[in-house]
Chain A
């Protein structure tokens, strides 16, 4: 088995899984029906990506299924970044988290479309379209909230102050990411960061956001060390598989 490729697929898939989960918590509770439908759509897109990554990961590993990978790992074996697991504190946090991620996800998918690994390239090609309209949606909402009312601006700034320091982890290259980049399978994160900066800076400006002067957050999500929120996410996510092991549904 190619263990590096397996872990790389988890690094990609786990972000979509946990963000999909966070967005799915909002289904039925959005500020209006239109945004409810849109955010559920994002969640559905992300779960579609998760299934592709995990099905391929199971093939690479030569054992397990998309479901055993999604539901039966322990917390330390999930490799999503900490930005993604931040709670849905309010709509400003939801949009800001989404935007910081989308601005990374789109260039990542564009880069992975050129991956030497055909499966990854195929998944990226499909996901690129989704990432592109997700970014359009979250950028528009960043502008709306930033420019809308005093209250919305204050809430967005507060969400931004909290979330922005977590975005640095997206670009902090792990050993596995380095290896994948070098053999032409993975993306070059410093190039992704350049794209991310270009996209985000113009939106921050239009949304009248002031960059927080806090340093990058101390993060080890990609090493499987999470926030306290993660255990609760997994408690819900894994409930059925843990309570009724080995059953078909």
Chain B
């Protein structure tokens, strides 16, 4: 590194330390740019792939009110994908390139969406737990150092917290409903509890990105801190529903002021990350299919726009 670069990097770090927002045209270390492209695009991909498990129940909602709620929710996820892809584009990558990375399996997205939605209660549980976990991550990100990402997060968080309440409301209905409905709710919690805890990523001592992320104020809390926060918030909610969290080791620790919890199956986590989860192949196949089948549509729109533009030019001439 030249002396000039060292001093730029020091100035950059000083800006971060002062809590200033970094904007797309500001000087930034290449690694900061690359880390953001990776993180924001992964986040965008998670929104877009996340449409699939919930979309799986749109045609089968139990009533019209739930139909409208779910459709609007999945539509919001598409909107979040759009803001996030736009935020990433400010760093010099195109949406098509990001899609390419997703479709070829090069880019990751949140592993939780590689689990199947098997009953209507899964839709409630995803809203309650998955959106709940996402909010904990994302509220932190509203103060992240990169301006466009932080601003996108402010808007996204508002909608996510609405989704979380909507999901929890579905769970209240089920857990206070018939024995069959309560069983459906418990079964969904059993299946989604551990994958939800895995959403915060590996333990701190095994998380390669955490140190740099904290230094650059991309993350302001570690994976383990966020996971603990989620558990502490969620357990009383499960108790209110009268549902049992599937962890025999879970208990309140008076001394720590937190819940202690059992061991997470990290083998399962890495299996799913590596592409061997229950629905990895289906999710990627669905995205690829939509993209490939849409190619002629996108081509047509472009060709039409070009023809129109050239007609306008000849009119002016």
Binding site for B on A (CB under 8 A): 21, 24-25, 27-37, 40-41, 43-44, 47-48, 50-51, 54, 66-67, 70-71, 90-91, 143-145, 147-149, 151-152, 155, 236-237, 239-241, 244, 247-249
Contacts and interface: CB of A to CB of B under 8 A. Distances in A.
A27 B58 contact: yes
Given A25-B59, A48-B68, A143-B304, A33 B82 contact: yes
Nearest to A144: B304
Contacts of A44: 68, 71-72, 75
A25 B56 CA distance: 9
The 5 nearest A-B residue pairs measured at CB? A31-B294, A148-B300, A152-B300, A28-B51, A240-B62
Nearest to B291: A31
Interface in B136-183: 170, 173-174, 177-178, 180-181
B257 to A, nearest CB: 38
Interface of B: 48, 51-52, 55, 58-68, 71-72, 74-75, 78-79, 81-82, 85, 120, 170, 173-174, 177-178, 180-181, 286, 289-291, 293-304, 307
A47 B68 contact: yes
B286 A29 contact: yes
A144 B300 contact: yes
17 contacts: A24-B59, A25-B59, A29-B286, A31-B294, A33-B81, A34-B82, A37-B79, A43-B71, A47-B68, A54-B64, A144-B300, A149-B303, A152-B300, A244-B62, A247-B178, A248-B173, A249-B120
A222 to B, nearest CB: 22
Majority SS of interface residues in chain A? helix
A249 B180 contact: no
Given A25-B59, A149-B303, A240 B297 contact: no
Contacts of B298: 31-32
Given A31-B290, A91-B297, A148-B300, A241 B81 contact: no
A50 B302 CA distance: 35
A66 B71 contact: no
Contact of A248 (B60, B61, B74, B177): B177
Contacts of A237: 59-60
B113 to A, nearest CB: 11
Given A30-B294, A31-B295, A149-B296, 5 more contacts: A33-B48, A47-B64, A144-B304, A239-B60, A244-B181
A249 B173 contact: yes
B304 A148 contact: yes
Nearest to B290: A29
B173 A36 contact: no
Contacts of A48: 68
A145 B297 CA distance: 7
B59 A236 contact: yes
Contact of A37 (B60, B67, B78, B120): B78
Contacts of A50: 64
A247 B55 contact: no
A40 B293 contact: no
A143 B308 CA distance: 11
Nearest to A237: B59
Nearest to B289: A29
B181 A247 contact: yes
B120 A240 contact: yes
Nearest to A44: B71
Contacts of B299: 148-149, 151-152
B75 A40 contact: yes
Contacts of A34: 82
A11 to B, nearest CB: 18
Nearest to B54: A28
Contacts of B180: 244, 247
Contacts of B64: 47, 50-51, 54, 66-67, 70
A249 B294 contact: no
Contacts of A143: 304
Contacts of A145: 297, 300
Nearest to A244: B180
Most chain A beta carbons < 10 A, residue from B61, B170, B178, B295 = B61
